[in-house]
């Protein structure tokens, strides 16, 4: 596959603080790459360096085979950027906003009209073309933001938290639109804190922490990195401290988490943990409403790799 983004030994410092350290990775044509990491991991700095919005101390960045720079407009016209913050004009309608941003790259009026209509259809804003941004819900605003960034048909699209703070319906619509962009041949670099989205749309994932890559691979490959083998969740169960201590001492138990009436047990190995647990609960006369077992999720792996402490 053709490499459309190439990053070699990227290093970015803020005085004595190293935000990105000797970072190297590639993105292939038509790929959806998830760039993940906790707050302060270097995601935003990396993206800003890729877009030449920041200078950096060392490394080489190539986009579409060319060295990226702030004045390389031949490359910039093939890039679409949708940041987390909404960036549209309040005094323009939905159609006018998309037409304006598309017009930054497409001069031909007839072709631009075709592109704008296609972008409107892609994000499902057909019924809102004459609306102003202040008349739109949060989900519709996000869709407008995406349409403005992709209307000129860029080859590479940077999407930063596109579904944050939207309702489930808008979220599904946005994700469907992203998948459609991939079908049309776009290469997408995607950042999000929603791990289920990563599993749905990303071909490959890079996890950053403290400016370095700590893991990379497909969502399935990353889940296979988990040290835990099984996670059991029990709902509507009332436990005492002594009950929890007994559960922690059961065979193969790695960790126990209890919040109000929900118990989560992770096992480091073993294939018959659930039957043994059910037998234990029955023996101790511990009643519950629902119990189920699942393999580790990508979110479990993320927390295992980056830690569970809060980040500012």
Residue pair 141/133 in contact (Cβ under 8 Å)? The answer is yes
- Does residue 268 have a pLDDT over 90? no
Asked, colleague to colleague, whether 3-223 and 230-306 share their fold, the answer is no
Helices (H), 82-157: 94-103, 109-123, 138-150
**Mind giving me the DSSP string for 13-27?**
EETTEEEEEEEEEEE
Question: What was the pLDDT predicted at 310?
Answer: 64
Tracing tokens 């940077």 back to the chain, one arrives at 158
Pairing of strands 79-82, 156-160: parallel
Q: Return the percentage of the chain with pLDDT > 70, whole number.
A: 99
Tracing tokens 């009643």 back to the chain, one arrives at 287
CA distance 59 to 71: 18
Average pLDDT, stretch 75-86? 93
Half-sphere exposure of 60 toward its Cβ, with a 13 Å CA cutoff? 7
Average pLDDT, stretch 3-9? 97
- Does residue 1 have a pLDDT over 80? no
- Does residue 270 have a pLDDT over 80? no
Band the pLDDT of 277: cuts 50, 70, 90. very high
- pLDDT tens digits, 38-70: 988 999 999 999 999 999 999 999 999 999 999
Question: What was the pLDDT predicted at 62?
Answer: 97
Question: What was the pLDDT predicted at 171?
Answer: 86
Which residue in 135, 140, 177, 184 sits closest to 159, CA to CA? Answer: 177
Q: Return the percentage of the chain with pLDDT > 90, whole number.
A: 78
Question: What was the pLDDT predicted at 223?
Answer: 87
Q: With H, G, I as helix, E, B as strand and everything else as coil, classify residue 149.
A: helix
| pLDDT, mean over the chain | 93
Q: How many residues does the chain have?
A: 312
Question: What was the pLDDT predicted at 312?
Answer: 62
Angle at which helices 109-123 and 94-103 pack, to 10 degrees? Answer: 130
Question: What was the pLDDT predicted at 187?
Answer: 97
Q: With H, G, I as helix, E, B as strand and everything else as coil, classify residue 43.
A: helix
- Domain coordinates in residue numbering, the chain: 3-223, 230-306
Architecture of the 3-223 domain:
3-Layer(aba) Sandwich (3.40)
Question: What was the pLDDT predicted at 297?
Answer: 87
Residue pair 187/136 in contact (Cβ under 8 Å)? The answer is no
- Does residue 14 have a pLDDT over 80? yes
CA distance 118 to 298: 34
Helix, strand, coil abundance in the chain, percent, nearest 5: 35, 30, 35
Average pLDDT, stretch 59-82? 95
Q: What is the CA angle 8-32-298, rounded to 5?
A: 95
**Higher-pLDDT residue of 301, 129:** 129
Average pLDDT, stretch 29-33? 96
CA distance 40 to 311: 7
- pLDDT tens digits, 168-222: 888 888 899 899 999 989 999 999 989 999 999 999 999 999 999 999 999 999 9
CATH class for the region spanning 230-306: alpha beta
Residue pair 187/64 in contact (Cβ under 8 Å)? The answer is no
Structure tokens at 279: 């037998």
Q: Alpha-carbon dihedral of residues 170, 176, 182, 186, nearest 10 degrees?
A: -30
């Amino acid at each position: 596959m053709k490499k459309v983004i190439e990053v070699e030994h990227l290093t970015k410092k803020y005085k004595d603080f190293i935000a990105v350290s000797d970072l190297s990775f590639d993105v292939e044509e038509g790929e959806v790459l998830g760039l993940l990491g906790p707050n302060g991991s270097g995601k935003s700095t990396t993206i800003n360096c890729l877009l030449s919005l920041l200078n950096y101390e060392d490394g080489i960045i190539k986009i579409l085979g060319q060295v990226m720079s702030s004045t390389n407009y031949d490359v910039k016209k093939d890039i679409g950027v949708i940041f987390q913050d909404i960036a549209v004009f309040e005094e323009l309608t939905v159609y006018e906003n998309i037409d304006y941003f598309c017009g930054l790259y497409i001069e031909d009026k007839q072709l631009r009209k075709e592109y704008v209509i296609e972008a409107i259809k892609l994000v499902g804003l057909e019924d809102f073309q004459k609306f102003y941004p202040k008349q739109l819900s949060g989900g519709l605003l996000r869709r407008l933001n995406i349409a403005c960034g992709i209307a000129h048909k860029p080859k590479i699209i940077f999407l930063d938290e596109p579904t944050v703070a939207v309702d489930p319906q808008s979220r599904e619509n946005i994700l469907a639109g992203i998948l459609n962009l991939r079908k049309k041949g776009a290469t997408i670099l995607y950042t999000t804190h929603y791990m289920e989205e990563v599993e749905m749309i990303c071909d490959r994932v890079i996890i950053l922490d403290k400016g370095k890559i700590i893991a990379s691979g497909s969502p399935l490959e990353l889940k296979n990195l988990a040290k835990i083998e099984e996670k059991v969740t029990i709902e509507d169960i009332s436990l005492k401290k002594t009950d929890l201590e007994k559960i922690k001492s059961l065979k193969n138990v790695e960790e126990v988490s209890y919040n109000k009436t929900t118990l989560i047990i992770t096992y480091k190995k073993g294939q018959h943990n659930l039957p043994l647990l059910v037998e234990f609960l029955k023996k101790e006369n511990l009643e519950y409403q629902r119990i189920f077992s699942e393999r580790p999720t990508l979110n479990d792996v993320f927390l295992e790799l980056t830690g569970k402490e809060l980040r500012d």
